[in-house]
Amino acid sequence: MASNAINVRPKETVATFTVSGTGTGVAQTVRVGGSTHEIAVDTLPAFGGADSAPSPISYALAALVSCNQVVAQIVAKDLGIRLDAFAFDAAADLDTAVLVGGSHEANANFESLTLEATIHTNATPEQFAALKAETERRCPVYQLYARSGVHLTTTWHREASA
C-alpha cells in the first residue's frame, strides 16, 4: 500500500536552539541545550521573587542588546568595515495591568522599547547607516520585537575609531 505521507526535509539553513528550565516559586534555572551554560532567573519582590537573579524581562532586553552586537559584527564583515567598542542601552515600558492584575483590557507586551547604541568604527556615515539598517533587518531578537507590534525607537551613534 502506498503511503500518502509527505517527507518534509527542513531547510539546511535552519538552526534549532533549545533550553530547559526547572525551579520552584518564581526562581528557575535554565539550561542551554548543547552546552554546560546555565542561566539563573528570578524576579523582583514586587512580582513574588527574591531578586536573586535577573528577571525574564531583564534577560529579554539583554538578548536584544547582545543580539544586536553579534549581528552587527556579522554585517560589518559583509560591509568590509571594522567595529571596535560597543555601548548599548535599552529601556522598555511595560503596562503591568495584565501581568500583575490579570486585566483583559491591556496588552501584556511591551508598549514601547528604546534602543540606543554607540559604536566605535571606521565606517563612513553611509556604511554606518547600512550597518544599522541591515543589523535591524537581520537580528532575530530585534525582529521579534518589531513584528510583535512594540513601538521601537532606535538611535545609533557612530564614533570614529583611532
pLDDT tens digits for range 103-120 = 999 889 999 999 999 999
Say whether both 65 and 126 belong to one domain.
yes
8 belongs to a structural domain: no
Q: Which residues pair with 121 in a beta bridge?
A: 83, 160
Residue recorded with cell 535552519: 14
Distance CA 66, CA 39 (A): 15
Residues 142 and 68 in one domain: yes
Does 3 fall in a domain? no
Domain count, the chain: 2
**Together in a domain, 126 and 151:** yes
- pTM of the model as a whole: 0.88
143 domain residue, yes or no: yes
Q: Is 73 found in the same domain as 46?
A: no
| 5 assigned to some structural domain | no
Q: Identify the domain containing residue 105 by its residue range.
A: 56-160
With respect to residue 36, please indicate whether it lies within any of the assigned structural domains. yes
pLDDT per position as a tens digit, 117-146:
999 999 999 999 999 999 999 999 999 999
Q: Does residue 48 share a domain with residue 63? A: no
